[in-house]
Amino acid sequence: MFVVCLTALPLSAQRVTNIRAQQEGREIAVYYDLSARANVTLKVTVDGKDIKPQLVSGDLGKNTEAGEQKRIAWQVLDEKDGKFNAQNVVFSVRANAPWRTFILAEGAIAPKPFQYSVGLMAGVVSRAGVYVKARSSFQFANPQGFIRPEGTGYYISQPEAHLSAAEMPYYLSGKSRQMQWVVDAGVIVRLADFSKTMWYIYAGGGYGVRQQLWQTYDRKWLNYAPTTYKNFSLDLGCMMEYKHLAVSFGANTIGFKYGEMQIGIGYIFN
């Protein structure tokens, strides 16, 4: 048997509360409440000297889930060969938000005209972090001219040319392609943390291109000028994690003229 003076010292008060310690048989049990999932470590100071306990178990380590009455057990007599005498023992429970890596497969649709794109979103996050994403429709072609509203039935081979519409006739084959790609980067912030789920919001920007292409009978691809956008892009959304499964929802716009709704699914690594 041994008698010690136990003092609880929370070092991360915004996350760890209600720390208390007591002797239970051959071990000392440290109880605490954790408000959000975190990497939890235990520090012990014995009579003014810091020591690192070796025989510990329970609610500590990487990605300890939030909750009340979390318990860490220090098998002190087994570690100290049955002898432990001290006047003052201070237990410090540290909780740090873990850095985690995530990757999601992402798809997006635009309603009018209907168009899809697919790609990836990846990043790292603790309480805050960064991400990058890229998507494409994977419908590629080399446009050789523009269709313009004022030249219905004709095309202009060079955008800067000032040719009359009647000089360059075309005939469409009926085949079309919706070509689009966008690359974004930004910041992601943890918004809320529950016992089983985490919620994040993200915002970023980048550059995107959207082109609606039509093919002529002589197999030239023409860009429909009114729906061709090459501009900055803005990205906004949220991500939810449940047991390492990540699901995202968001929206993207290219120059505030073309927009997509996004959904993604993936995995968050420790």
Q: How confident is the model at residue 195 (pLDDT cuts 50, 70, 90)?
A: low
CA distance 219 to 262: 33
Q: According to the model, what pLDDT value does residue 29 have?
A: 92
Q: Which helix (H) or strand (E) holds 62?
A: strand 61-64
Residue given tokens 């002797």 in the structure block: 23
Q: According to the model, what pLDDT value does residue 169 have?
A: 56
> Averaging pLDDT over each range in 52-61, 91-100, 110-119, 149-158, which range is the top one?
52-61
3-class DSSP state of 149: helix
Q: According to the model, what pLDDT value does residue 198 have?
A: 87
Domains identified in the chain and CATH numbers: 6-96 (2.60.40), 100-269 (2.40.160.20)
Section 112-131 average pLDDT:
91
Q: According to the model, what pLDDT value does residue 108 have?
A: 94
What does the pLDDT look like over 69-103, one tens digit per residue? Answer: 999 999 988 888 878 777 788 888 988 877 889 99
Show contacts of 142-147: CB within 8 Å, 24+ apart.
142/221, 143/211, 143/213, 143/221, 143/222, 143/223, 144/220, 144/221, 144/222, 145/170, 145/220, 145/222, 145/223, 146/222, 146/223, 146/224, 146/225, 146/228, 147/214, 147/222, 147/223, 147/224, 147/225
Look at strands 6-10 and 89-96 and give their pairing. Answer: parallel
Check whether 126 has a pLDDT greater than 50: yes
In sequence order, the 6+-apart residues with CB closer than 8 A to the CB of 257 are 229, 231
Among 21-30, 75-84, 139-148, 236-245, which stretch is predicted with the lowest mean pLDDT? 139-148
Of 143 and 171, the structure prediction assigns the larger pLDDT to 143
The answer to whether 213 and 222 are in contact (CB under 8 A) is: yes
pTM of the full structure:
0.69
